[in-house]
Amino acid sequence: MLHPLPHEHLRGAPLVEIIGLSCGYEKQRVLNRVDLQIMKGDFVGLLGPSGSGKTTLLRSMLGAVSVYEGEVLVEGRRPSEGRPRIGYVPQLETIDWNFPVTVREVVMMGRTMENRFFPWFRKEEKELADRMMEQLGILHLAGRHIRELSGGQQQRAFLARALVSSPSLLLLDEPTSGVDVKTRDDVMHLLHDLNHEGVTIVITTHEINAVAVHLPRLVCLAGRVLAEGTPYDVITTEVLRQTYGADMPVIHYEGMPIVAESPHRYGRNGGANGDEVNVGHSHSHA
Ligand SMILES: Nc1ncnc2c1ncn2[C@@H]1O[C@H](COP(=O)(O)OP(=O)(O)OP(=O)(O)O)[C@@H](O)[C@H]1O
């Protein structure tokens, strides 16, 4: 039996259309001939090894890469033709933590994009930022320096920054890396809630069992799109071998695929990362 896709009623014109895209940076072509559509209401996970172009694909939607062939349309327009409402949460490791800003200031930066010519904030904007921080449980940290926060709290601050512009598309680069299991689940619940409210979301992740299998749609990348579909379609030994160049046995538990790496694969002390051997953990919101 076919299950209806999430937000079937919202589906229509694609929110993002990537057509024959080859792109990269000045000296390096990273993605080749990528065709991908992201529909309104989608929640897409990008999988692929380090350097496979996941961040580059997110950045192509922001118009922040060199395009050699093809094009990217967001809401029917090229990113250079005007900035669509996109919230972007970068990988925390890429952020320069030396700039002296408080959590509130980081969140308010999300409004600067809107008020480019009027770089001061209205009272309502400050209230909106406070509401967002409250919802994300970081309002009590508003006056603290962003550098003094834990990884999970920083992730929330940047998520709040992305959300204050009421984006129709939210792009998050590894939103669960470097946080504990509880925070990871909280962040994922929050993203699922936002998605249910109609926000289209694209994330990158390395966590197959804990994150990817709970998403409605996955795209495997390695310089090009190798596979896309539901976790059931994509999390297979064959697709993972093509994507990561490694043998990763897949088992099924309660109808869900799980990557079951041998704990002995990297020696006597367990797997390469906790996710791959953590076969018992599951979310409830898939
Ligand atoms: N600003 C940049 N200038 C030049 N090359 C870059 C830049 N950013 C990334 N690259 C190169 O592009 C390639 C793809 O990088 P990208 O960050 O898209 O990979 P990724 O799949 O997101 O990796 P990871 O999982 O490690 O975050 C890499 O070889 C990287 O060195």
ipTM over 0.95: yes
Which range has highest mean pLDDT (6-15, 17-26, 84-93, 130-139)? 17-26
Question: How far, in Å, are 48, 176, 205, 239 from residue 220 at the CA level?
Answer: 6, 18, 11, 8
- Compute φ and ψ for 169, nearest 5 degrees: -130, 130
The ligand 1 atom nearest the CA atom of 28: 5
Residues 154 and 179 sit within 8 Å (Cβ to Cβ): no
Asked if residues 92 and 151 have their Cβ atoms less than 8 Å apart, the reply is yes
Closest by CA position to 116, among listed 83, 162, 161, 78: 83
Averaged confidence pLDDT in the chain: 84
CA 117 to chain CA centroid, Å, is: 30
Q: Tokens representing 90?
A: 């970068």
Rounded to the nearest whole angstrom, what is the distance from the C-alpha of residue 273 to the centroid of ligand 1? 21
- Helix, strand, coil % in the chain, rounded to nearest 5: 35, 25, 40
Q: Which residue out of 22, 26, 30 has the highest number of ligand 1 atoms within 8 Å of its CB and is therefore the one to mutate?
A: 30
Domain ranges of the chain: 1-84+168-245, 97-167
| pLDDT 10s digits, 228-275 | 999 999 999 999 999 999 899 999 988 889 998 655 555 444 334 434
Q: Write the single-letter amino acid at 224.
A: R
What is the percent of the chain where pLDDT is above 70? 83
Tens-digit pLDDT profile for residues 130-178: 998 998 889 999 999 999 998 889 988 999 999 888 898 999 999 988 7
Q: Which superfamily does 1-84+168-245 belong to? A: P-loop containing nucleotide triphosphate hydrolases (3.40.50.300)
Cβ neighbours of residue 25 closer than 8 Å, sequence gap 6 or more: 56, 65, 66
